[in-house]
Structure formats: structure tokens, C-alpha cells
Structure 1
């Protein structure tokens, strides 16, 4: 679904200090983990995979189709109700059935928060809203940055179940970025790991 050859990117202000350099990998269906230490380029790589950034070096070939990289933490979302933010994400499951989100809303503990403006939500609750969008999107490519961060144990279990389903997919690719392999992934077969180093 995705092939990178010699992929690189540097901030325009510091072209001599690339954030990413010489990455070669393929990503197929299932669940792929991007791991690396702080500042190693995990989020940058997700943005490249989503098409939000253009490679500065090498080549990145992605199969046509929607790439979803939910970003409910964006301050631009602050005044928007969480429910309205979800509706703006073009989620086919939600458009077909407005009640499709109800089981996950309950499982993630979002029922009492979904009609609040985003600025009133905690970091964890905003992350949960993004995870809800990922679950309902049905996108060929879904990209999640630190999906377990700032979540309670109950929500982490729900996310682990969601990612286990993603890992079993033969048609969709999910890519998650994190500092390492969370113990919540212990029982999940990863399609691949892209290691950016510590």
C-alpha cells in the first residue's frame, strides 16, 4: 500500500539537519508500528504518509485512497463541539447511521463529553475523540500518533481491541507511532515495525 525509498525530510530552516533521512520500507495491510525516541521524527513520518508534507528526498508511493490522520488536539478545533468535529471528519459509518458511534462512545467514556466544546476536554478525551473518528472512518490508511497516551486503563483496553481488529485486516493499513512497543500491543501481531532509533 505504501513504499518508501530513501525517504527524507528536513525543516526548511535547517536543511542541513534532516529530521528523517534514507528511510526505505513498505507498509501493507494490517498494523505497523513506528517507534522512536523523542524528536526522532515519528509525527513527521505520519505527516509524510498522510500527504500533509512532501518528501524532501527520496520517493514515497502511496496507493490512491483516503488517508486519515485525526488531529483533535489542534487548537483550531477548540471552539467546536466534539460531536460537530466528528461530523466534519467525513465518516461513512456515522453518516449511514448516527447511532453507529454509540457503543464506542460508551466504551471510551465519552457520552457525557461529546457535546462539549473541544477546549473543555482533557488531552485524553480529545485523543479518544480522534480514536473514535479512526474507528468509524473505514479509511484505507489510518495514522495514529501515540494512541495510548493520556488514556485510562479501560480506554487503553478498548483501543487495544480496536488495533487488534486493525491488525487482522487484509484490505486496510493502520500505522501507529509511539516511543516503543506498548504492553497493550503484546498480543497483537504487527505487520511491520519502522524503527527511527532512540
Structure 2
């Protein structure tokens, strides 16, 4: 079960306030509080440690059994629509609509995310080499190509809270290198002030400049 970390000095963009959550045979969080600054945040833990559960709580997709999530002062439980309008979250394992192409999906994101960057989208499409896949249905792409399209949209969204779950899954070495470069750029020169970019992974992903880290017990 996760214990409360030491508070951080900078004002939080995202706050977990007294969170209780778990399953019948396994409590995950018990009166857990943490403050997260803008910047890169790592949620680290092995398989089954609760990384995706924490992302779902952060996204407002799941409600805690007690406590609240606050994003720039907005409560996920009291103002769910306003909260989730600030979040980019899609489970990379979730199935894609049968006829949806990568281009269709990106077009939809443009209408949802007010801080969407067309320049960033095209940069990530080129960086991950997925331009030739944009006309294809998402369900026809390999798991790695699906992951690249998803992350290109995530990073281009500009969402104040952007959640990436196991982003290296299915990627080759060149694609991993591009992802790490993109995260480094986001950390050193963020396009959107106050943006919290949370990455869930089993290790620390090298020497990225994490502003905060949550290590989940095994």
C-alpha cells in the first residue's frame, strides 16, 4: 500500500488529497496525499503495482473511495466535466473503433483540446515515421504503430494533465530514442505553462529531469 511522500516546495498543479482506493483483496491507497508540480512526473512500479489504477484516478475516470483529486484547483469529483476537459488520457490497451483512421482520430482531438498544436503533431508524426499510416484504420496498425499515433496525439494535445501509460511498449530503439528526446524537450521548454505530464513505467527511463516521482511498492 502506498504511503504519503514528503511534500514538495513548489505550488502543486495536481493534488491528491486523502485518496483511498483499492480492490477487495488489495488496498492500493490509504489516506494518501501528494502534490505534483508542473513538469515531468514519473509513476514507477512493476506489473500489478497499481500504475494504471493511479492514472485512472488522476484522469477522473475512476472515483476514489475517499478523498479527491484537484487539477489547478478543480475537483474531479465535484466538477467532473470541467476536470476531465483538462485531461488527456486513453488506455493504450483499449480497442479502437473499427473504422477510425489515425487521421480521423487526430481531427477529433483538434476539436477537444484547446491547446492542440498542429506543429507538434506534425513533428511527432515525422519523428516517429508514421506519416504513411495516417490513412489506415487504427485497428489495422501494429501495437507499436498504434502507440506512436497515440503518443503523438497526447504530446500535441497540450492538455494541462497528460497521462502516458507504459509508453515504451511495442517501440523499437529508434522510436524509444525519439520519445525520450520529446520528453526532454517538454521538460526543458514546455509549450504549455503549468502542464503536468505523467509517465507510468517500471523504471526511471534514464536521466530524464523528473520534477516528482511516485514509486509504487511491489
TM bin (shorter chain): 0.7 to 0.9
**CA distance change for structure 1 residues 37 and 137 in 2, over 3 Å: closer, same or farther?**
same
- What is the TM-score of this pair, normalised by structure 1? 0.86
Which moves more between the two structures, 159-168 or 72-81?
72-81
Aligned pairs (5 A) from 1:1-198: 1-11=13-23, 14=24, 17-63=26-72, 64=74, 66-71=86-91, 73-89=93-109, 90-92=112-114, 97=118, 101-168=121-188, 169=190, 170-183=193-206, 186=207, 188-198=208-218
Q: Is there any run of 5+ residues in structure 2 with no aligned partner, and where? A: 1-12, 75-82
- What is the TM-score of this pair, normalised by structure 2? 0.78
The whole-number CA distance in structure 1 between the counterparts of 2:171 and 2:126 is 15
**CA distance change for structure 1 residues 39 and 73 in 2, over 3 Å: closer, same or farther?**
closer
State the Cα deviation string for residues 131-188 of structure 1 (Å, max 9, x = none).
11112111111111011121111111211122112223452110110111123xx2x2
Question: Does the aligned pair in 1 maintain the 2:115–2:159 contact within 8 Å?
Answer: no
Question: Does the aligned pair in 1 maintain the 2:88–2:162 contact within 8 Å?
Answer: yes
State the Cα deviation string for residues 65-112 of structure 1 (Å, max 9, x = none).
611113454214343111111222234566x75x76333212101011
Q: Is there any run of 5+ residues in structure 1 with no aligned partner, and where? A: none
Is the partner of 1:61 in helix, strand or coil?
strand
Aligned length: 190
